């Protein structure tokens, strides 16, 4: 089934451009768009998209608060922030509210489409610069924790290589190219890493990686 996409963006021109891009992408289906968080919250529970692309700077309620309210109503819906903001406060506020990914509006169309696919596969895609900011926020001295059944010592050499590249901010496709393995293979490694580390997101996995 095509991935159903809704857009929350107050810039009419950008909203229209995104709708066309999504409508033309293979395996995607554009279903609705909104110029405000209030309109989105009123209609999205009826539309039930698989993915919502969400701006932060919206008139009235901002995008972060919209994500928080939307996730309370539709916890299974994936939300990707698509914004110009690249400061740590907005990034972490959005992730804490329930956003599953965080991309910048200047992201090339092809990369954005790939990021949406990655998110639907269980990943937490972020623009490389954003991922680096997240990584840096965890780079603080910590006391080493004893290895348990779900700690880093459980990871294979290849899984540790994949996690290292993930911590550097690479998306799944880039990891596949770097290690000369298939995209689906990367996805399998990521799933195993999450299971062994007992985490659910890229951010949590990277945090444990940096505590080694």
What tens digit of pLDDT does each residue of 172-204 get?
Answer: 888 888 899 988 888 888 888 888 888 877 777
Last-in-domain residue among 136, 167, 198: 136
CB of 143 within 8 A of CB of 151?
no
Residues 203 and 121 in one domain: no
> How many domains would you assign to the chain?
2
Confidence of residue 143 (pLDDT cuts 50, 70, 90): very low
Same domain? 20 vs 67: yes
* Pair (150, 191) in one structural domain: yes
Q: What is the pLDDT of residues 78-127, one digit of tens each?
A: 999 999 987 777 888 888 889 999 999 998 999 999 999 989 888 888 87
Asked if residue 111 and residue 55 are part of one domain, the reply reads: yes
Per DSSP, 117 falls in state: H
Indicate if 123 and 150 belong to the same structural domain.
no
Beta bridge partners of 8: 34, 54
CB under 8 Å to 18, separation ≥6 — which residues? 7, 9, 33, 53, 82
Q: What is the pLDDT of residues 15-36, one digit of tens each?
A: 999 999 999 999 999 999 999 9
**Which of residues 136, 163, 185 is at a domain's end?**
136
pLDDT tens-digit series, residues 57-91 = 999 999 999 999 999 999 999 999 999 987 777 88
- Domain residues for the domain of 193 are 139-210
Q: Which two tokens stand for residue 73?
A: 């109503």
128 and 158 in a single domain? The answer is no
**121 & 143 share domain:** no
Same structural domain, 201 and 117? no
Task: Judge whether residue 161 has pLDDT over 70.
Answer: yes
Residues 101 and 205 in one domain: no
- 54 has a pLDDT exceeding 80: yes
pLDDT at residue 72 in the model: 92
Last residue of a domain, one of 82, 106, 136: 136
Indicate which CATH number applies to the domain containing 193.
1.10.10.10
Q: Would you call 164 helix, strand, or coil by DSSP?
A: helix
Residue 133 CA to residue 202 CA, distance in Å, equals 13
The H-or-E segment that residue 52 falls in is strand 51-54
Q: 185 and 167, same structural domain?
A: yes
**Whether pLDDT at 149 is above 60:** no
Per-residue model confidence (pLDDT) at position 14: 94
End-to-end CA distance of the chain: 41
CB contact at 8 A, 70 and 40: yes
39 has a pLDDT exceeding 80 = yes
* 198 shares a domain with 105: no
Distance between CA 60 and CA 40 in Å, rounded? 12
Domain co-membership, 131 together with 148 = no
Q: Give the C-alpha separation, 110 to 51, whole Å.
A: 17
Q: What does the pLDDT average to over 146-171?
A: 75
Q: In the β-sheet with 28-34, what is the strand arrangement from edge to edge?
A: 28-34, 3-8, 51-54, 78-83, 101-104
Domain with residue 41: its CATH number is 3.40.50.2300
- Percent of the chain at pLDDT > 90 equals 47
Please indicate whether residue 45 or residue 146 has the higher confidence score (pLDDT): 45
Residue that wins the pLDDT comparison between 181 and 128: 181
> What is residue 197's predicted lDDT score, i.e. its pLDDT?
86
């Amino acid at each position: 089934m095509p991935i159903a996409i809704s857009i929350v963006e107050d810039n009419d021109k950008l909203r229209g451009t995104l709708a066309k891009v999504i409508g033309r992408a293979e395996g995607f289906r554009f279903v609705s768009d909104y110029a405000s968080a209030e309109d989105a919250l009123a209609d999205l529970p009826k539309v039930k998209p698989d993915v919502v692309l969400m701006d932060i700077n919206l008139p009235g309620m901002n995008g972060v608060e919209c994500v928080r309210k939307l996730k309370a109503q539709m916890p299974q819906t994936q939300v990707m922030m698509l914004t110009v903001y690249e400061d740590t406060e907005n990034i972490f506020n959005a992730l804490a509210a329930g956003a599953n990914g965080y991309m910048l509006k200047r992201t090339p169309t092809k990369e954005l489409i790939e990021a949406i696919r990655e998110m639907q596969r269980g990943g937490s895609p972020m623009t490389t610069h954003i991922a680096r900011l997240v990584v840096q926020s965890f780079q603080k001295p910590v006391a080493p924790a004893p290895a348990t059944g779900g700690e880093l010592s459980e990871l294979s050499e290849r899984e540790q290589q994949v996690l290292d590249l993930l911590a550097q901010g690479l998306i799944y496709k880039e990891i596949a190219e770097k290690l000369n393995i298939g995209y689906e293979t990367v996805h399998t490694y990521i799933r195993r890493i999450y299971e062994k580390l007992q985490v659910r997101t890229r951010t949590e996995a990277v945090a444990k990686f940096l505590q080694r």
